[in-house]
Structure 1
Amino acid sequence: MNFQLSEEQQMLADSAKRFVRDHFVKSSDVEKHRQNKKLMPLDQATWQQFAELGWLAVPFDEQHGGLGMGVLETMVLLEALGEGLIMAPYIATVVLGGGFLRRASAEQQAQTLPALVEGKRQLAFAAEEYERVFSLENTAMTARVNGSEIVLDGTKACVMNGDQADQLIVLARTAGQPGDRGGLSLFLVDANADGVERLAHRTVDGRQGAEIRFNNVTVPETACIGALGDGYALAHTVLMEGLLALSAESVGSLSVLLNETVEYSKTRKQFGLPIGKFQALQFRMADMFIAMEQTRSLLLAATLKTAEGHDDAAFAVHAMKAQLGRAGRKIAQEAIQIHGGMGMTDELGVGHYVKRLSAADGLFGNADVHLAALART
């Protein structure tokens, strides 16, 4: 495997790192946002800058205004953005939403992709449900065929960017029972359609999402992405890309936790010496480094296998997500403890990175869920 970035990939990484340096989210700003009783909408100027930089166009074909890149470039971009806790719905809109639209009909693409690339449209993938361990086949929300229309009923929980999305991609069951892979369908739904109720909430890391209720929401058959009842394979493919993107962003955050902990150990003194001189703490930071490198290696392997279409790509993605949960907890806990009392405060950036990693672990199944999926695979 070639781990050397191409010239285009390196330029993309450099531009993202410059953006992070110029727009780094300060700890005080994150805390102010978290404590604010009112939910704060996305800074449209920042999202528009994403469009101007070409980042919203990364995975799309040139005929839709895209750059024709793939999962490797997405990984490079999101790892850099993860270093700065940039709170933008890139994964929800471009990776997940855009992933479905890249595989949608020509008419659906023409109606949505140009606006998405220009930063004028946002998307959200509504898949998770209450009282169910997350997996696509556990979907219980119903989609009833009524002539040439589909009627959606049910509730989706913890929808990333669900509060601000213009359109929703909804996974619902047109046949079968929860646990069946057959009978699942995907629908492109106007977020402001009659019968759609959005209850916005803030996540533990300061970002926003929504519980979305569908009460007899009617959409035409043409709103279906792919074949009716055959949505599992498509949803699984896009979800794997979404998990890779989420993992790449988290690896960027993990690298910051490791680096800030090492730097802190060089300046914090105890008994007249920097605490980094004590062998016990050196061992712990060495363990953090090993966990970090294991996670980064799995991310690279899973991304390359997905990009090259290997048969065991899904196996590698499940392993990546399971490792991310375990390594994230290990590195986060060590970072907080080595920082001592300061690690528990909201004024220090460490706590905010830890919250982001905690939220990422629980999204679309935690480490235990993916370890079980890994065993089944």
Structure 2
Amino acid sequence: MDFDLTDDQRLLGDSVTRLLSAEYGFEQRKALLKTPTGWSEALWQRYAELGLLGLPIAEDHGGFGGGPVDVMLLMQAFGRHLVLEPYLATVVLGATALRLAGTDAQQGEILPEVAAGTMKLAFAHYERQARYDLTDILTTAKPKDGGFVLEGAKSVVLHGDCADRLIVSARTSGGRDDAGGLSLFLVDGNAPGLARRGYALRDGTRAAELSLSGVQVPREALLGEVDGALPTIQRVVEAGIAATSAEVIGTMEAMQAMTLDYLKTRQQFGKPIGDNQALQHRAAEMLVAMEQGRSMAMLATMSLEEEDAAERARSISMAKVGVGQAGRFVSQNAVQLHGGIGMTEEYAVGHFFRRVMVIEHLFGDTATHLDRLADQVA
């Protein structure tokens, strides 16, 4: 398998790095966290101008026509700077659902707006009682007047507070845990009966709790086939895992660089603490863990194009576990090697640590995916 980047991919990485190095310093990010939205609309438009919002969207819909590797490179850069904008929710999750299940009319209406930065999406699937079970859905969609009426609630909807359109899963038939009977619907963010409560996650990124009470949608709002949404939901979640795995690699790169710099400059007993052989060994172990995680993130990215669903799910779970373990090891050691300063709000390493911990619990935590892999072996 060829892991060399193309010239276009190198150019993409360089241009994003230049933008974020100039516009996304640590103090700038802390200022964004204090704004009402928690992210920068101006930078969102810059992403659109650079073609980042249309990166995985087909050229026919105003996009770049890129693939999983392009998204991987972008998410690594985002991880190195702890980007707050709703890229994961809109471009990775929402646009993936549309590309997989949307009709030509739905794609033609929405994807060009996503690429232009004028429409934000959110993927509303998980519910409180479900934990990470993709089939445990209590939200219902019942036929009415040629359309559907949605009733239920969704939890931890990434950037659900600012989305113009929500892609909502609901049960159109079957029981609570049935694999069949799930459908996806496009719901306007201001639809009557839809209530949203936005909040900040532990790392500062935004999410929302949704309540749907008598939300009426037309038949045209159905995304894909009635009762047949589970394969699409699984692939959207897999795309999310691959993207966040790449983001963790970026955060580990940043923490590794910060830690090495600290070991070289922090003086104790008249010499840098990095002269201590035990700390040198710890830094080397961090590097090894980071590179192991990088390999697993690449596995997740490459697996997205695997046609065999079972093999794809297995590889994605392996990557989720590997990246989760590496991210936790590097994060904990980065904080520890910084000593007390690593625990302060004024220093960046703690913010990177929190982002890695939040990502570990998105789309199924490490323990959940270990259980899934064990079930396949048993």
Aligned to 2:12: 12
Amino acid aligned to 1:201 = Y
1:57 counterpart = 2:37: no
What are the Cα deviations for residues 108-129 of structure 1, in whole angstroms up to 9, with x where unaligned?
Answer: 1121111111100000000111
CA shift in 2, pair 1:110/1:32, >3 Å: closer
What are the Cα deviations for residues 207-230 of structure 1, in whole angstroms up to 9, with x where unaligned?
Answer: 111111100111112211110000
Aligned to 1:198, the other structure's residue is in SS state strand
Q: Is the 8 A contact 1:254 1:328 kept in 2?
A: yes
CA distance in 1, matches of 2:319, 2:59: 31
CA shift in 2, pair 1:288/1:301, >3 Å: same
Aligned to 2:93: 96
Aligned to 2:318: 319
1:234 counterpart = 2:232: yes
Aligned to 2:333: 334
1:283 counterpart = 2:301: no
Aligned to 2:343: 344
Aligned to 1:365: 364
CA shift in 2, pair 1:256/1:310, >3 Å: farther
Aligned to 2:129, the other structure's residue is in SS state coil
Aligned to 1:374: 373
Q: Is the 8 A contact 1:134 1:364 kept in 2?
A: yes
1:89 CA displacement: 0.7
What are the Cα deviations for residues 11-36 of structure 1, in whole angstroms up to 9, with x where unaligned?
Answer: 1111111112111231x4444555x4
Aligned to 1:177: 175
Amino acid aligned to 1:314 = A
Aligned to 1:188, the other structure's residue is in SS state strand
Aligned to 1:187, the other structure's residue is in SS state strand
CA distance in 1, matches of 2:161, 2:274: 44
1:47 counterpart = 2:44: yes
CA distance in 2, matches of 1:375, 1:218: 42
Q: Is the 8 A contact 2:122 2:167 kept in 1?
A: yes
What are the Cα deviations for residues 326-370 of structure 1, in whole angstroms up to 9, with x where unaligned?
Answer: 222211111111000110111111011011111111112211112
1:81 maps to which of 78, 81, 86: 78
CA distance in 2, matches of 1:105, 1:78: 28
Moved more, 138-147 or 17-26: 138-147
1:257 counterpart = 2:255: yes
Q: Is the 8 A contact 1:188 1:224 kept in 2?
A: yes
Unpaired stretches in structure 2, ≥5 consecutive residues: none
CA distance in 1, matches of 2:364, 2:24: 29
Q: Is the 8 A contact 2:32 2:40 kept in 1?
A: no
Amino acid aligned to 2:81 = G
Aligned to 2:207, the other structure's residue is in SS state strand
Q: Is the 8 A contact 2:38 2:204 kept in 1?
A: no
Q: Is the 8 A contact 2:140 2:172 kept in 1?
A: yes
Amino acid aligned to 1:87 = L
Q: Calculate percent identity across the aligned residue pairs.
A: 40
Aligned to 1:354: 353
Moved more, 300-309 or 2-11: 300-309
Q: TM-score, normalised by structure 1?
A: 0.95
Aligned to 1:88, the other structure's residue is in SS state coil
1:169 CA displacement: 0.3
Q: Is the 8 A contact 2:297 2:323 kept in 1?
A: no
CA distance in 2, matches of 1:40, 1:60: 26
Q: Is the 8 A contact 1:170 1:187 kept in 2?
A: yes
Equivalent residue pairs, number: 374
CA distance in 2, matches of 1:173, 1:280: 55
Aligned to 1:249, the other structure's residue is in SS state helix
What are the Cα deviations for residues 303-348 of structure 1, in whole angstroms up to 9, with x where unaligned?
Answer: 1232354662221111111222222221111111100011011111
CA distance in 1, matches of 2:208, 2:144: 28
Amino acid aligned to 2:351 = H
What are the Cα deviations for residues 124-162 of structure 1, in whole angstroms up to 9, with x where unaligned?
Answer: 000111133212112221112235211111111111110
1:177 CA displacement: 2.1
1:302 CA displacement: 2.1
Unpaired stretches in structure 1, ≥5 consecutive residues: none
What are the Cα deviations for residues 244-302 of structure 1, in whole angstroms up to 9, with x where unaligned?
Answer: 11111111011111111111111112222211111211221122111111110011122
1:186 CA displacement: 0.6
CA distance in 2, matches of 1:368, 1:41: 30
1:183 CA displacement: 0.7
CA distance in 1, matches of 2:368, 2:176: 17
CA distance in 2, matches of 1:63, 1:127: 28
Q: Is the 8 A contact 2:75 2:243 kept in 1?
A: yes
2:109 maps to which of 105, 108, 111: 111
Aligned to 1:114, the other structure's residue is in SS state helix
Which fold has the larger relative contact order, with Cα–Cα distance below 8 Å and residues 6 or more apart in sequence?
1
